Chain A
Amino acid sequence: MITPYLSGCLSSQNKMNKSGYFEAEFGIDEKICRKLLETALLKGGDFADLFFEHTISNVLVLEDGKVNQSYGNIDLGVGIRTVKDDQVGYGFTQVLTEESMLSAARTAASLVNASATPIKEQFSTPEIGDYYPLSTFLNEFPISSKLPVMQGINAKCFELSDFIRKVTVVFQDEMKRIMIVTSDGVKAEDLVPGNFCAASVLAEKDGKIESGGWEYGGHRDFSWYDLKLIEKLSNEAVDRTLIKFEATQPPAGEMPVVLGSGITGVLLHEAIGHGMEADFNRKNISIYSTMIGKKVAEPFVTIIDDGTIPNLSGSINVDDEGTPGEKTVLVENGILTGYLHDKISARYYDVEPTGNGRRQSYQYMPFPRMRNTYMMPGNASPDDVIRQVKNGIYVSDVSNGEVYIGQGDFSFYVSQGFRIENGKLTAPIKDINIMGNGPKMLENITMAANDLSMYHGGAGFCGKENQGVKVSFGLPTCLVKSMTVGGTSQEGGVS
């Protein structure tokens, strides 16, 4: 039997449909949308939009062997935006009554003081993809069906090693419904699943304690969390923890860095992705503001931001301004080709929006944001790449990336990797920071392997303008000929 879990006011016939939800459940029809948009543009402005959202999310936690914590949340509201050039008026309400929504529209309209701007007579729905098809409605799965997944991971982690002392498993899932209606005549709706399962383990060996973990997720169907995934996640979490007992910190300083494939793509996200978000360039505060059309990397380097990869965390059928998700090339054969646009920057640059207008929720206005950012593979094998390095490091797991847009300086934390000595992986390393400069790093990518893989997690968030959106990234194994590696050792000594 399926027991609805905080399923709010969903009626069964509408659960899997992408369209018609807000009208059926909350009476939000085109007439009221038109009235709200007219109010938002009552004092003028270039355009206005409405962003309706209803999200139901749940988090379950297993700690000390028991699934003993549950946290549920409901988000419901509409954000109303009025735009004049690069100026934005924004109001939102959690109450979907006409009176409350009109009040939010009047707040948005307070930005300008001119005569009313008319809105388009007809709304049309853009053709959008289906990058996260669902066979089941996640919110409808009872806790009892998620428990075996979490308990299975707990049991498996303990089974894998006698050194494991603690296991924590977190299962998060959400179903987000959105509807965007714009004064330029777009009406788009979507149903966005989001979920992840994370395992953290703590191990004790010879009096030393180490912790680690891994997670898998994205826009997934519940059927994805099967026995195979339980096994894979448990193995990753345990292996990534146990290897730390052997790990040391490398000598600090400048050295060649080989980035392993997959999650290390966070480097692209920080080194180039943020700098290519068009709002920073429109304001001329990005280091890339003056580089369009210029050579920024070797000819084998092509970097893409892609919202259309099935089930990845950064994929979007439609962005939060009503523009369909698409694939946008940032660097093509070493040449910087274009920025990531929302509607405001697209108008400024007189180009089409690229489907990068994203926001955390109805409480926030959209900005240009990345989706899934990756570099195309090269021809070499991963071993060929490693063989190029006499003395450097190999990075296999990273987190906590951050960038200063103007300088282009970025940083990310290497939780795991290896030293490379004479072209071979040797001692494991852990807990170091790497710093670099975006344009310099791009110039310094001298080799790429043929093993592009994407990060298949669901807990990766990118922060900007005090809001977070889900993203993913990918990279083939590649060689950066020089970066600054942190560490406690100075030329091999101990500080």
Chain B
Amino acid sequence: MNQEMKNLCKWIISTAEKNGAKECKATIYKNRNVDVRYRQQKPEIIKESTTQGLSLEIYIDGKYSSQSNPDLRKKTLGDFISKAIDNTRYLEEDPYRYLPDPQYYEGRSGVDLQILDPSYQNLSAEQRHHMAKDIEDACIEKGGERLISTQAEFSDRITELFIMSNNSFVGESEGTRFGAEVSLTIQDIGDRKSEGLLFVSSRMLDNFPAAEEIAGIVSRDAYQQLGSKKIKTEKLPVIIQNRNVTRLLSGLLSAMNGQNLQQKSSFLLDKKNQVIGNNLLTLIDNPLIARGLGSRSFDSDGFPCKERIMIDEGILRDYYIDWYYSRKLECEPTTGSSSNLIIPPGERSVESIMKDLDRGILITGMIGGNSNSTTGDFSFGIFGQLFDRGKPVQPVAEMNIADNHLQFWNKLTEIGNDPWKYSSWQLPSLVFKDIVVSGA
């Protein structure tokens, strides 16, 4: 971030103090985004933008508010800050609302997280078009005779962030992210169409998957679902494919969140250091991975980030507790949200695991559903492939799985060797036994 923006941040802090803010924290950000989408071998969408904004947190005698504004001109900001402070005074006092003790800001890692691609500035409009076009071309090639439509969107973003508080916190970061959203639709039986849909992201362009790899995944997903139908309700082993583990794990993570714990709406309340899953389950939060999509050196409170083992061989070891909820819970803060999440991979591929199972379902997609953070009950729509000893039997759709997290994670029997690389949650496929899959 340039010096002008840093000086503006200082001015904002100083203006807020002059207007009566006892404590305050200002965040200024700037993003540049470019999206190029190809369909029918021509650009369908070209979108380019630069956004900026201020987020100002104000603390006055236990009264707290956070206000955002994209207008960074000093002549309008002065009025904005003054009104924001005046209105904060109308709120009710909360003894837990204050900035962290500055000692918590100390100890930031000096590791180079490599979240900024130095080649970003040289990325040309032609290259962006080529990225999207190459993916669409590869999808057309892989789509075969049944192909109806495919589209490929390539996007890139650079984000700059500067944060400053009036109790000595200063932080800045600059990062890049490249992404693709790709879909491929093929003709199924009758009016029905089968779809493959994929999102991939990377910090660096040289880690971005090849067009052929992306096309291979979406076309495989679409073709695997041809002729899918529901089967009878059955208790079976299921393999949840790597990309779909996120939806299930989110339910577990929401119950590890400080706000849910303090509000007692967490089924993991008082479960720290207790068994919550099979001993195969280990979950690591590591914000310091080089090139990680969730990598960061400080969190939203300004605390230095470090690796945390959240679940260790089935035992819950830690929660996500930010500064505010740590005060209410009368405990030490950890960090308020997840960064890069890792479930250490197993030894075998999904194909190899399938061969050793009798009848089971490989879940390749989840749809709708919900997870109740208070009770741990969850239910999701699923589709995928019914298999028997590794051989495909029938694509399935219109089916559901439901369980309670505290029982479900104890049914984990094996972990695949295939962590999904193109997300901040690098999760492998997971195998569970005795799951009721409801259908006809």
Task: Judge whether B112 is part of the interface by a CB distance below 8 angstroms.
Answer: no
Residues on B with beta carbons closer than 8 Å to the beta carbon of A252: 233, 400, 402, 436, 438
Are B381 and A211 within 8 A (Cβ)?
no
Are B64 and A70 within 8 A (Cβ)?
yes
Are B65 and A69 within 8 A (Cβ)?
yes
User: Given A69-B64, A70-B91, are A168 and B381 neighbors across the interface (CB < 8 Å)?
Assistant: no
User: Given A70-B91, A363-B51, are A253 and B83 neighbors across the interface (CB < 8 Å)?
Assistant: no
Query: Contact mask A479-495 → B, CB, 8 Å, 1/0?
Result: 00000111111110001
Query: Contact mask B38-69 → A, CB, 8 Å, 1/0?
Result: 01001111111111110000000011111111
Task: Judge whether A72 is part of the interface by a CB distance below 8 angstroms.
Answer: yes
User: Given A285-B148, A287-B191, are A489 and B436 neighbors across the interface (CB < 8 Å)?
Assistant: yes
Are B263 and A202 within 8 A (Cβ)?
yes
Interface residues of B in 62-98 (CB under 8 A from A): 62-71, 76, 80, 83-84, 86-88, 90-94, 97
Query: Contact mask B93-132 → A, CB, 8 Å, 1/0?
Result: 1100100000000000000000000000000010000000
Which residue of chain B has its CB nearest to the CB of A57? B68
Residues on A with beta carbons closer than 8 Å to the beta carbon of B383: 409
Interface residues of A in 437-486 (CB under 8 A from B): 437, 439, 484-486
Q: 7 smallest A-B Cβ distances: which pairs?
A: A486-B400, A411-B368, A406-B193, A252-B438, A411-B381, A433-B379, A70-B65
Are B402 and A72 within 8 A (Cβ)?
no
Interface residues of B in 123-170 (CB under 8 A from A): 125, 148-149, 151
User: Given A66-B92, A433-B369, are A285 and B399 neighbors across the interface (CB < 8 Å)?
Assistant: no
Q: List 22 A-B contacts (CB under 8 A).
A: A68-B97, A70-B65, A88-B45, A91-B49, A110-B125, A209-B375, A210-B375, A252-B402, A253-B438, A284-B149, A285-B195, A291-B191, A407-B188, A409-B367, A411-B368, A413-B379, A433-B400, A433-B402, A437-B397, A485-B400, A495-B235, A495-B435
What would 9 more interface pairs be, CB under 8 Å, given A168-B263, A413-B379, A488-B404?
A68-B64, A69-B64, A211-B265, A252-B402, A283-B151, A409-B397, A433-B400, A484-B400, A490-B233
User: Given A254-B440, A491-B233, are A74 and B194 neighbors across the interface (CB < 8 Å)?
Assistant: no
Are B375 and A436 within 8 A (Cβ)?
no
Residues on A with beta carbons closer than 8 Å to the beta carbon of B403: 488, 495
Query: Contact mask B417-440 → A, CB, 8 Å, 1/0?
Result: 000000000000000001110111
Tell which of B42, B76, B183, B378 touches A431, judged by Cβ atoms closer than 8 Å: B378
Residues on A with beta carbons closer than 8 Å to the beta carbon of B401: 486
Are B436 and A410 within 8 A (Cβ)?
no
Residues on A with beta carbons closer than 8 Å to the beta carbon of B228: 407
Which residue of chain B has its CB nearest to the CB of A405? B195
Task: Judge whether A163 is part of the interface by a CB distance below 8 angstroms.
Answer: no
User: Given A66-B93, A67-B92, are A111 and B46 neighbors across the interface (CB < 8 Å)?
Assistant: yes
Are A435 and B47 within 8 A (Cβ)?
no
Are A3 and B440 within 8 A (Cβ)?
no
- How far, in whole Å, are A410 and B183 apart by their CA atoms in the complex? 18
Are A486 and B402 within 8 A (Cβ)?
yes
Q: B residues bordering A, Cβ < 8 Å?
A: 39, 42-53, 62-71, 76, 80, 83-84, 86-88, 90-94, 97, 125, 148-149, 151, 183, 185, 188, 191-195, 225, 228, 230, 232-235, 263-265, 328, 367-370, 372-375, 377-381, 383, 397-404, 434-436, 438-440
Within the complex, the shortest CB–CB distance from B77 to chain A, in Å, comes to: 11
Residues on A with beta carbons closer than 8 Å to the beta carbon of B380: 411, 433, 486
Which residue of chain A has its CB nearest to the CB of B79? A9
Within the complex, the shortest CB–CB distance from B206 to chain A, in Å, comes to: 26
Are B368 and A401 within 8 A (Cβ)?
yes
Task: Judge whether A404 is part of the interface by a CB distance below 8 angstroms.
Answer: yes
Within the complex, the shortest CB–CB distance from A162 to chain B, in Å, comes to: 16
Are B370 and A431 within 8 A (Cβ)?
yes
Which residue of chain B has its CB nearest to the CB of A208? B375
Are B377 and A86 within 8 A (Cβ)?
no
Task: Judge whether A262 is part of the interface by a CB distance below 8 angstroms.
Answer: no
Query: Contact mask A378-403 → B, CB, 8 Å, 1/0?
Result: 00000000000000000000011111
Task: Judge whether A135 is part of the interface by a CB distance below 8 angstroms.
Answer: no
Residues on B with beta carbons closer than 8 Å to the beta carbon of A415: 370
Are A71 and B235 within 8 A (Cβ)?
no
Residues on B with beta carbons closer than 8 Å to the beta carbon of A485: 400, 438
Are B87 and A70 within 8 A (Cβ)?
yes
Which residue of chain B has its CB nearest to the CB of A254? B440
- How far, in whole Å, are A211 and B192 apart by their CA atoms in the complex? 39
Task: Judge whether A19 is part of the interface by a CB distance below 8 angstroms.
Answer: no
Within the complex, the shortest CB–CB distance from A240 to chain B, in Å, comes to: 13
Residues on B with beta carbons closer than 8 Å to the beta carbon of A111: 43, 46
Interface residues of A in 261-297 (CB under 8 A from B): 270, 283-291
Tell which of B83, B90, B148, B328 touches A4, judged by Cβ atoms closer than 8 Å: B83
Residues on B with beta carbons closer than 8 Å to the beta carbon of A210: 374-375
Task: Judge whether A134 is part of the interface by a CB distance below 8 angstroms.
Answer: no
Within the complex, the shortest CB–CB distance from B364 to chain A, in Å, comes to: 12
Are A77 and B235 within 8 A (Cβ)?
no
Task: Judge whether A345 is part of the interface by a CB distance below 8 angstroms.
Answer: no
- How far, in whole Å, are A7 and B88 apart by their CA atoms in the complex? 14
Task: Judge whether A76 is part of the interface by a CB distance below 8 angstroms.
Answer: yes
- How far, in whole Å, are A411 and B368 apart by their CA atoms in the complex? 5
Are B368 and A284 within 8 A (Cβ)?
no
- How far, in whole Å, are A280 and B81 apart by their CA atoms in the complex? 45
Which residue of chain A has its CB nearest to the CB of B374? A211
Residues on A with beta carbons closer than 8 Å to the beta carbon of B83: 4-7
Tell which of B44, B50, B64, B381 touches A88, judged by Cβ atoms closer than 8 Å: B44
User: Given A409-B383, A410-B367, are A87 and B188 neighbors across the interface (CB < 8 Å)?
Assistant: no
Task: Judge whether A223 is part of the interface by a CB distance below 8 angstroms.
Answer: no
Are B67 and A72 within 8 A (Cβ)?
yes
Are A406 and B194 within 8 A (Cβ)?
yes
Are B70 and A74 within 8 A (Cβ)?
yes
- How far, in whole Å, are A202 and B191 apart by their CA atoms in the complex? 46
Which residue of chain B has its CB nearest to the CB of A289? B191
- How far, in whole Å, are A288 and B191 apart by their CA atoms in the complex? 7
Residues on A with beta carbons closer than 8 Å to the beta carbon of B404: 488
Residues on B with beta carbons closer than 8 Å to the beta carbon of A7: 83
Residues on B with beta carbons closer than 8 Å to the beta carbon of A410: 367-368
- How far, in whole Å, are A89 and B48 apart by their CA atoms in the complex? 9
Tell which of B87, B193, B265, B402 touches A285, judged by Cβ atoms closer than 8 Å: B193
Residue from B39, B52, B369, B375 with most neighbouring chain A CB atoms (10 Å):
B369
User: Given A406-B192, A491-B233, are A88 and B438 neighbors across the interface (CB < 8 Å)?
Assistant: no
Which residue of chain A has its CB nearest to the CB of B40? A86
Tell which of A285, A405, A407, A433 touches B225, judged by Cβ atoms closer than 8 Å: A407
- How far, in whole Å, are A363 and B31 apart by their CA atoms in the complex? 13
Are A67 and B367 within 8 A (Cβ)?
no
User: Given A4-B83, A91-B49, A290-B191, are A165 and B264 neighbors across the interface (CB < 8 Å)?
Assistant: yes
Task: Judge whether A90 is part of the interface by a CB distance below 8 angstroms.
Answer: yes
- How far, in whole Å, are A251 and B349 apart by their CA atoms in the complex? 34
Are B195 and A432 within 8 A (Cβ)?
no
Within the complex, the shortest CB–CB distance from A376 to chain B, in Å, comes to: 25
Which residue of chain B has its CB nearest to the CB of A244? B375
- How far, in whole Å, are A408 and B190 apart by their CA atoms in the complex? 12
Within the complex, the shortest CB–CB distance from A205 to chain B, in Å, comes to: 13
Query: Contact mask A56-74 → B, CB, 8 Å, 1/0?
Result: 0000100110111111111
Task: Judge whether A333 is part of the interface by a CB distance below 8 angstroms.
Answer: no
- How far, in whole Å, are A286 and B195 apart by their CA atoms in the complex? 10
Are A6 and B67 within 8 A (Cβ)?
yes
User: Given A70-B87, A490-B233, are A411 and B369 neighbors across the interface (CB < 8 Å)?
Assistant: yes
- How far, in whole Å, are A408 and B188 apart by their CA atoms in the complex? 12
- How far, in whole Å, are A363 and B58 apart by their CA atoms in the complex? 27
Residues on B with beta carbons closer than 8 Å to the beta carbon of A283: 39, 149, 151, 185
Task: Judge whether A243 is part of the interface by a CB distance below 8 angstroms.
Answer: no
Are B192 and A408 within 8 A (Cβ)?
yes
User: Given A66-B92, A411-B368, are A75 and B70 neighbors across the interface (CB < 8 Å)?
Assistant: yes
Are B436 and A91 within 8 A (Cβ)?
no
- How far, in whole Å, are A144 and B69 apart by their CA atoms in the complex? 23
